[in-house]
Structure 1
Amino acid sequence: MNGNYHHRAPEYQEEMVEIDVQRAPNSPFMNHSEDQMLPRSVPPYRPGHSPSLNDEFGSNTWPLPGNESFIHTPVDSRSATPSLYPSNHQFQSHQSLAALVDTPPSPVLAKDWVQPGSIAQLYDRDDAEIWKGWRRWLFRFVPVFTFANTALYLFYLGLRIYCVIMAQKYSGYIYAGAWVFIAIEIAVAIPSQMHNCWTMLALKKRNRPKLRLTGDDVPTVDVFITCCGEEDEVVLDTVRGAIWQDYPRDRFRVIVLDDAKSPTLEASVNQLARIHTNVFYMAREKIPGKPHHFKAGNLNYGLDAVHELPGGAGKFMAALDADMIPEPEWLRAVLPHLLVDPRMALACPPQLFYNTPSSDPLAQSLDFFVHVIEPIKDAMGVAWCTGSGYVVRREALDEIGNFPLGSLAEDVATSTLMLGKGWHTAYVHEPLQFGTVPEDYGGHLKQRTRWAIGTVDTAVKLKFCLWGDAVRQMSAAQRFSGFLYATLSLYTLLLTASLFAIPIILLWGKQLVAYATTEELRWLIWACFATTISNRLCEFALFSPAGYHTGQRGSRYQLWMSPYIALCIVRSFILPRWLGGQAQAFKPTGSLGSALNERDPKHRRNMAVRMWVIMVNYMATFHLLFVYVTLAAVVVSSYRCFAQNSGFRDIIMCLITHAFWPPLTFLFICTSLWTPIAYAVDPPNMPDREDLLDRDPKTGVAHPTRQSKKIAFGGQAAWFELEYTTATVATILVFVYSFFF
């Protein structure tokens, strides 16, 4: 290994062995004295210089929902000007870089396959090393399991409706409670069945190889690091990780785009710039009262500003969030996917995290999305930009007018507009960047509601990807994907309404499952049993790439987060200002006196303060009331069964058809909605961020330790697994008992 990595921990050296094989021995920025990495000389610049720009982006926004026009960032924002440092080629990145792909990738995994100026193929699949064995074999059956589960559920639902109709004909009585229960099941089933339809498309095999760009004849890249008020050390760790890429120094620049204009961060970046001449600090002027468009505006500022730097703009642009530390092979791993396809506009790796607490109680890891959903979407040609770590072709950005403004989800909007123009996008399923999840409950809510509202807002402006000039060249699969993932957030309205109905119908005391004869009840139980077991098998197979417990956390997350997302949707898109409508983001009520520091065992606020803030300021009172009212309703319903029936068989039949219809759905809902309260009472403990990093004492470069990259299995995960097992066992027992009616 090269000298600059000798000071890594043993486990990190082991991780980097494969990358060592592919490095060209004459890399222009490596100092083989093993003391330091020396950059090649580049034209001098003034550290900290932020060029003044004449172009302003604040006045150009997307239209509000309902407007007919679709306004982009100005096309003449100079992304069309010459962009290679050493050359003057315009818009021909795929032609001028053709020499890089003249030599076909070699499938031989040995040192002799490294050829300067070529792209090497390490494996047939980019995720060959992170996901293998029995899980990959099992995942092949996901379409079969999903199809069977969908068919069984539709049969079960049709049988439920048929039995209610027959029961009403037989008794002449309207089973209102049964109809309400069916309506709740349908409301919950709509998004899940839509998702099942998409999941069945996993039948299409994904063929994205694991590639590496070798040699020194590589394209130029401008790496943007966007920040706005984050801690200096967090940003600087990302900057150092970007600087120490296994990439020629004269072929990439690291540009910190600081929207907070932090004097201390500027001084620290300028200090790095004195050693590394490819590092720049920039901060745009934000005029009070004039829209600055947050991250999209900051990125567009950087796209324009790099033309003022020596050599002009790079052929490609890459972006990192302030807390996302890239792995040393990041650029060499992502860029080949753009070079082998001249119509590839954007390639992005997953967002992974190194400070996720054990059991991940708030489902912050995104593992199910990045390890299951995104690969399926990539196979269908509809990979989304994940917001960090992506590399984009400047030509494609120019065609859509740079990053679209006026959206809280500029990453989704950007990739969607590129697909609408006929460009391709790629998802590189490799662990190439690691960042941090929000360390407090309020930060998590704001992040997730912003994502959800931004996705819906973008979908409204793009007409849900169904028609219009912006999506004209999209395929049917791309349109369906855009429509599906936009509407899933809207279905939280139905899900939240159904949550309100559950305790009401239980307190109502009406029969939830109606039938005319014992034979009909037996068939209902059999269909319910088959649906439940097939659903468990489907979940186990579908969740296998990310881990079974990861998928289950996601299922619970959808339930307890739905009231927050639904409230934001109502406030953002339905209510007028005078009735409580507000900006498109979650806003806590009241005043937060100080941070809870809930994950710091030394400085966390006491339980009374935590409970007050989460229950009142963050409105978890709804969750608490729902759980207690629902459990009280179950007790009342059960008491009625014992009071109104005398025989064992009658009592059991009453319990089954009222509160305890398998698979004990109320239990899963209550434990899921208990999440905020359990978090307030017993938040997870996390060590200091520095303890999660392995830092090189000479260079200061830090990368997450092997252990911090994984989510530990904790007591909460064990508790929920016990709950799932109990519900499954109860379903089996009811199924067995049905033979003895």
Structure 2
Amino acid sequence: MPVHYDDGNTVGLDVFRDHQNPDDGGYGHTRNNSSVDFAAGQPVSEKGWPLRSAVHSDDSSSSGYSQHHHRIDAQRLDDVPLDRDSRASSWMSSGQATPLDYLPPPRPLHHSPGSGSGSSTPTPMQNQSQLSLAALLPAGAPPVLSKEWVVPGSIARLHDRDDVDIWKGWKRHVFRLAPFLTILSTGCYLLYLGYRIFCLVSAQNFQHRKYPQAWVFVAVELAVAIPSLMHNLWTVWAMKKRKRPKLRLTGENVPTVDVFVTCCKEDDDVILDTVRGACDVDYPRNRFRVVVLDDGASKSLEASVQHLAATVYPNLYYAARPKYPGVPHHFKAGNLNYGLELVRNFPGGAAQFMAALDADMIPERDWLRAVLPHLLIDPRVGLACPPQLFYNTPPSDPLAQSLDFFVHVIEPIKDALGVAWCTGSGYVARREALDEIGNFPLGSLAEDVATSTLMLGRGWKTAYVHEPLQFGTVPEDYGGHVKQRTRWAIGTVDTSFKLKFCLWGDKVRQMTPAQRFSGFLYAMLSLYTILLTVSLFAVPVVLVMNKPLVAYRDNDQLRWLIRACFAATISNRICEFALFVPAGYHTGQRGSRYQLWMSPYIALCLIRSFMLPRWLGGQTQAFKPTGSLQSALHERDPKARKNMARRLWTILFNYLGVFHLGFVYLTLVGVVITTFRCFTVETTVKDVLLCLITHAFWPPVTFLFLCSSLWTPISYAIDPPSMPDREDLLVRDPKTGVAHPTRESKKIAFGGQAAWFELEYSASTAYMVLIFVASFLF
């Protein structure tokens, strides 16, 4: 479907006036009956939304608004328009009067009841459900704005840091050491690796023999360490201080926003909770619309949404796009583009900004007021997004489903370098920026990454707002999690291929070096899983062959090898603690294990998507289980879960867990055989210990970490975590039905599995210290 847009239809804050109209569908509350923007002279609709002029000319008005018409077709990712005749002027164009110059002085603000626990957000309106009683409610004390006004009467600066409520105190001081500890840890590891290779070459020259198993073991150690090394290289940029303040959009002279809730066959209850939360945000009712974009065309959902629209939320709409056999519909990107086109035909036309929520993401009440200021203070910011957080993550997070490391460590660093990625939900985008890249790019399974990348390539900025402004749900079953993560990996790599890994090309010509490096790095991390999976096969083979994994010329070299290994291991442990402290120490451990046990799934999907021809089974899709699954496992529901035999069979054979089981089994068999030979062949205690150390038990006992990581699917099938019903994780208003997660559900509980892995880490570290001390005594 062709997309029409107006280059100059970006209007200022003061265009959006309230108007009283008995037939406005709930959009109006009496404020101002003006029908013309006094800043730009642009007519507005009865509902306060800007009207498109019936006549357009090439002559720009004194307000700086260009009114050229352009027409484009919906674009695929590999066919995005690169040149435009003109660029729409922003309401904050330099050197000209802007709508901000006409804003009234700050109005008294009142706390809104029910705005969430601990919220310090200035909220000029009472709760939406009590709007009709606003005149009867007593006025509360105005909140204290701790910092100066950024824009008088419009945007309040609450703090110099947007993450002030997430992490503070001693943790921030520790994290400042992370870049230096990262450099130290990486240096120690490279020195250790170099000395390992030097000792190996020396042993070969001295003994006049080859040590192929030792070379393979060096390669395996390096392969396992590369993801961490690449992440460490990126996190060194944490030395660049991030300066993103905590802002709030105040008053009622605010931009209009079209909020899209995208869904496709999710449970109605889940979608409706998101819809109610979106409609109940602290934002003037006549300044935003909520449009449910249902790709599942659910009749029950349509009826529920229409009931809410007719009885409670008149700014709520339902839409289901038509789909035709044989015509690609491009999944979420196509659904969003349909919504962008749809609202152009709504009364008043499209809003200046669009926002998107996933079906399960419940926004906090100050969501829009927290995100929008970051687009308003800088006219070149095309997109701003908050982190994706979750309220149903099980204790210990055994599958590493939370995105804590990415949203609390990686994304803030990327934001400091101007490389913030769209997080997929909760973001707010400028329509002007979307128009310039041809709306959401089609042909990608990661439309969020592709959209933000194309914006950066056209010179727009992206912003990451590090505040807890939305909470959603992680997949509640093993298969759903695997499918989600493999889809992300395929989408990231596919986008990188089409954009030439962000290294060259017209689509990325305005990217900075940091932005190009980021696009290249994360694509390579996904592709690297193929090499990592292949290297894992070598571990049990080498152990079974009973050849030394560590070669050295004499005992002095062995002692210094142990000391170098100790320095690399301990420095890495300390670095992990400092680096992961914003997200929690155990988050890093979960992430390291996740890289290993998920690598076979990601590698298989990447090979099928980008390497195999179709006649050999190649196709671009997320992981799909083999065989026939007659019913879901319901593994986290203690009442409805299938028995252990059914869970094991499904994960082992339908979800390829048999590979993980085979790896662990063969590796442990190799360790047992090697250990048995050391005790039977060697005669003295010293020789036995040297045999054990140089074969299977070289510190920090890599095989133990590999086995515990690859065992994750099997342990999950045997003992899946139990979770309460979703309703028990929410606090629901009995009158309005609006629900928000409880304080406890927003945190990941510490469970027995986390304690077990911590014991494993501690034992491995203690063993490393013991061997280190022994290198001085014997």
Query: 2:29 is matched with which residue?
Result: 40
Query: 1:300 is matched with which residue?
Result: 337
Supply the AA of the counterpart residue of 1:451.
W
Whole-Å separation in 1 of the counterparts to 2:609 and 2:581: 36
Deviations 1:507-550 (A, max 9, x none): 01111100001000011000000000000000000000000011
Whole-Å separation in 2 of the counterparts to 1:134 and 1:218: 38
Query: 1:110 is matched with which residue?
Result: 144
Whole-Å separation in 1 of the counterparts to 2:665 and 2:434: 52
Of 56, 61, 79, the match for 1:71: 79
> What's the offset of the Cα at 1:643?
1.3
Supply the AA of the counterpart residue of 2:469.
L
Query: 2:652 is matched with which residue?
Result: 615
> Would the aligned equivalents of 2:72 and 2:438 in 1 still touch at CA under 8 Å?
no
Q: Does 1:214 align with 2:250?
A: yes
Secondary structure of the residue that 1:614 maps to in structure 2? helix
Deviations 1:53-111 (A, max 9, x none): xx99998534xxxxxxx3128999xxx99xxxxxxxx653445553499989x999826
Q: Does 1:235 align with 2:267?
A: no
Secondary structure of the residue that 2:258 maps to in structure 1? strand
Whole-Å separation in 1 of the counterparts to 2:73 and 2:584: 44
Q: Does 1:61 align with 2:76?
A: yes
Supply the AA of the counterpart residue of 1:98.
L
> What's the offset of the Cα at 1:189?
2.8
Query: 2:305 is matched with which residue?
Result: 269
> Would the aligned equivalents of 2:247 and 2:374 in 1 still touch at CA under 8 Å?
yes
Residues 259 and 577 from structure 1, CA distance in 2 versus in 1: closer, same or farther, beyond 3 angstroms? same
Structure 2 residues without counterparts, runs of 5 or longer? 1-16, 20-25, 31-44, 48-69, 107-120, 123-141
Secondary structure of the residue that 1:298 maps to in structure 2? helix
Q: Does 1:455 align with 2:470?
A: no
Residues 251 and 554 from structure 1, CA distance in 2 versus in 1: closer, same or farther, beyond 3 angstroms? same
> What's the offset of the Cα at 1:310?
0.3
Supply the AA of the counterpart residue of 2:369.
R
Query: 2:65 is matched with which residue?
Result: none
Supply the AA of the counterpart residue of 2:523.
A
User: What number of residue pairs does the alignment pair up?
Assistant: 681
Supply the AA of the counterpart residue of 2:600.
P
Q: Does 1:159 align with 2:195?
A: yes
Whole-Å separation in 2 of the counterparts to 1:724 and 1:425: 38
> Would the aligned equivalents of 2:610 and 2:620 in 1 still touch at CA under 8 Å?
no
> Would the aligned equivalents of 2:395 and 2:750 in 1 still touch at CA under 8 Å?
yes
Q: Does 1:226 align with 2:293?
A: no
Whole-Å separation in 2 of the counterparts to 1:354 and 1:445: 19
Whole-Å separation in 2 of the counterparts to 1:93 and 1:228: 36
> Would the aligned equivalents of 2:27 and 2:314 in 1 still touch at CA under 8 Å?
no
Supply the AA of the counterpart residue of 1:378.
D
Residues 59 and 253 from structure 1, CA distance in 2 versus in 1: closer, same or farther, beyond 3 angstroms? closer
RMSD of equivalent CA atoms: 2.6
Secondary structure of the residue that 1:319 maps to in structure 2? strand
Q: Does 1:473 align with 2:510?
A: yes
Query: 1:563 is matched with which residue?
Result: 600
Deviations 1:448-476 (A, max 9, x none): 00001110000000100100011101011
Secondary structure of the residue that 2:522 maps to in structure 1? helix
Supply the AA of the counterpart residue of 2:585.
Y
Whole-Å separation in 1 of the counterparts to 2:485 and 2:254: 37
Residues 380 and 704 from structure 1, CA distance in 2 versus in 1: closer, same or farther, beyond 3 angstroms? same
Secondary structure of the residue that 1:610 maps to in structure 2? helix
1:180-191 alignment runs, 5 A limit = 180-191=216-227
Whole-Å separation in 2 of the counterparts to 1:563 and 1:101: 57
Whole-Å separation in 2 of the counterparts to 1:210 and 1:138: 22
Secondary structure of the residue that 1:253 maps to in structure 2? strand
Of 692, 695, 703, the match for 1:666: 703
> What's the offset of the Cα at 1:28?
8.1
Whole-Å separation in 1 of the counterparts to 2:143 and 2:758: 41
Secondary structure of the residue that 1:341 maps to in structure 2? coil
Supply the AA of the counterpart residue of 2:283.
Y
Residues 644 and 39 from structure 1, CA distance in 2 versus in 1: closer, same or farther, beyond 3 angstroms? farther
> Would the aligned equivalents of 2:74 and 2:438 in 1 still touch at CA under 8 Å?
no
Structure ranking higher on relative contact order (CA contacts 8 Å, 6+ apart): 1
Percent identical pairs in the alignment equals 69
> What's the offset of the Cα at 1:318?
0.4
> What's the offset of the Cα at 1:40?
3.3
Query: 1:646 is matched with which residue?
Result: 683
1:501-540 alignment runs, 5 A limit = 501-540=538-577
Deviations 1:612-633 (A, max 9, x none): 1111100100111111110110
Query: 1:193 is matched with which residue?
Result: 229
Secondary structure of the residue that 1:239 maps to in structure 2? helix
Supply the AA of the counterpart residue of 2:160.
D
Supply the AA of the counterpart residue of 1:92.
S
Q: Does 1:383 align with 2:420?
A: yes
> What's the offset of the Cα at 1:187?
2.2
> Would the aligned equivalents of 2:637 and 2:723 in 1 still touch at CA under 8 Å?
yes
Whole-Å separation in 2 of the counterparts to 1:99 and 1:640: 83
1:4-15 alignment runs, 5 A limit = none
> What's the offset of the Cα at 1:188?
2.5
Whole-Å separation in 1 of the counterparts to 2:91 and 2:330: 29
Query: 2:13 is matched with which residue?
Result: none
Q: Does 1:718 align with 2:755?
A: yes
Query: 1:92 is matched with which residue?
Result: 90
Deviations 1:620-657 (A, max 9, x none): 00111111110110010111111111111111111001
Query: 1:309 is matched with which residue?
Result: 346
Q: Does 1:331 align with 2:368?
A: yes
> Would the aligned equivalents of 2:75 and 2:441 in 1 still touch at CA under 8 Å?
no
> Would the aligned equivalents of 1:109 and 1:122 in 2 still touch at CA under 8 Å?
no
> What's the offset of the Cα at 1:276?
1.8
Query: 1:52 is matched with which residue?
Result: none
Whole-Å separation in 2 of the counterparts to 1:100 and 1:588: 60
Deviations 1:354-386 (A, max 9, x none): 001100110001111110110010011100000
1:538-549 alignment runs, 5 A limit = 538-549=575-586
> What's the offset of the Cα at 1:680?
0.5
> What's the offset of the Cα at 1:391?
0.3
Supply the AA of the counterpart residue of 2:79.
I
Secondary structure of the residue that 1:491 maps to in structure 2? helix
Residues 101 and 651 from structure 1, CA distance in 2 versus in 1: closer, same or farther, beyond 3 angstroms? farther
Whole-Å separation in 2 of the counterparts to 1:635 and 1:40: 77
TM-score when normalising by structure 2: 0.84
Query: 1:145 is matched with which residue?
Result: 181
> What's the offset of the Cα at 1:130?
1.0
Whole-Å separation in 1 of the counterparts to 2:103 and 2:227: 43
Whole-Å separation in 2 of the counterparts to 1:483 and 1:109: 45
Supply the AA of the counterpart residue of 2:177.
F
> Would the aligned equivalents of 1:175 and 1:514 in 2 still touch at CA under 8 Å?
yes
